[in-house]
Amino acid sequence: MDLGECPKIHDLALRADYEIASKTKDYFYDIDATEHLEAFIADCDRRTTAAKQRLAETQEELSAEVTEKANAVHELAEQIGQKLARAEALGEEGMVEESVKLMGEIDELRKKKAIAEQDYRNSMPASSYQQQKLRVCEVCSAYLGIHDNDRRLADHFGGKLHLGFITIREKLTELKKTVDKRREERGASERERSSGRRHYVGGRELDRRARRHRESARDRDGRHKDDRERGDKERDRTDKDRDRGDKERDRERERDRKRSRSRSRSRHENSRERSRGHDTREPRRSRSHRSSSRDHRRD
């Protein structure tokens, strides 16, 4: 059936973990499986009832005698289809003798069906007999026709849908044998957990622990955030102090350079003044020297 995507997680690793864990603790998943299959089969049975109601409203109503004969034909046809599908499955598995035995039973059923069909045909007008009379499969809620041939019936009864519903119904019957006892055991286990005689970590406890873990993680993150903010503020303050000290040192160096340049200019100006005074006295000495030189030559 087209049921859409399964909401469950299908993981081989998780299944292996469950198989290992289920050896030491009972999870009571068979009760969940029973409830799930019950809901599934109940939905199928509702579809079967609705289909029967539609057929009763749309098909020509037959007398009780004719209806009984028609049901006899349907039952024989279903038996033939089921045995034929089983015989084909046995033949594929290599069980030839069992398959041949079933084929013999099918031949006998076909003879009975032919007699039942003739009896059904004789009990109603020919025009009404040609109309397709449907019935609903009690297993999978599919429609079956009274005039369907053996191949069509074999395909239905050997199909995956019909066989799947057979498997589900058989499994559900098996689970129902022990589900009442298992529910009592689960109730006793829950009472023991609630009374505290046995420590058990269930779904709610896991949710509570997970919530507490998230809250503690948020608290740690908040504290770490506060520490980081305080650390950032301290680093900012230290960086500002360092920048302020660097600026002070830069200003001090600039003042030292200005004082040094001022002293250098003062020394340079004094040196030029001395040089200028020396140059103005030197010509006088030169003229006196020349005068004494001339006097010496005269002599």
Mean pLDDT for the stretch of residues 254-268: 73
C-alpha dist (Å) from residue 24 to 19, 20, 31: 10, 8, 18
Residue-wise pLDDT tens digits, 157-192: 888 898 899 999 999 999 999 988 888 888 888 888
Mean pLDDT for the stretch of residues 224-248: 73
Which band of pLDDT confidence, cut at 50, 70 and 90, is reported for residue 252? confident
H-helix or E-strand containing 86? helix 64-92
Which band of pLDDT confidence, cut at 50, 70 and 90, is reported for residue 127? low
Domain covering 12-190, topology: Helix Hairpins (1.10.287)
C-alpha dist (Å) from residue 266 to 58, 198, 273: 128, 100, 11
pLDDT of residue 131: 62
Which band of pLDDT confidence, cut at 50, 70 and 90, is reported for residue 286? very low
Three-state DSSP state, 262 = helix
Q: Describe the crossing of helices 160-195 and 29-58 by its angle, rounded to 10 degrees.
A: 140
The full set of domain ranges for the chain reads 12-190
Asked whether residue 242 carries a pLDDT value surpassing 60, the answer given is yes
pLDDT of residue 172: 94
Asked whether residue 129 carries a pLDDT value surpassing 70, the answer given is no
Cβ-count burial 256-280 (b if 16+ within 10 Å, e if not): eeeeeeeeeeeeeeeeeeeeeeeee
Rounded-to-integer distance, Cα 96 and Cα 100, Å? 6
DSSP string spanning 135-196?
EE-TTT--EEETT--HHHHHHHHTSHHHHHHHHHHHHHHHHHHHHHHHHHHHHHHHHHHHHT
Residue-wise pLDDT tens digits, 143-163: 888 777 778 888 888 888 988
Which band of pLDDT confidence, cut at 50, 70 and 90, is reported for residue 128? low
Query: How far does CA 19 lie from the centroid of its chain?
Result: 21
Lookup result for tokens 């009404």: 128
Residue-wise pLDDT tens digits, 33-63: 999 999 989 999 999 999 988 888 877 666 6
The pTM is what? 0.53
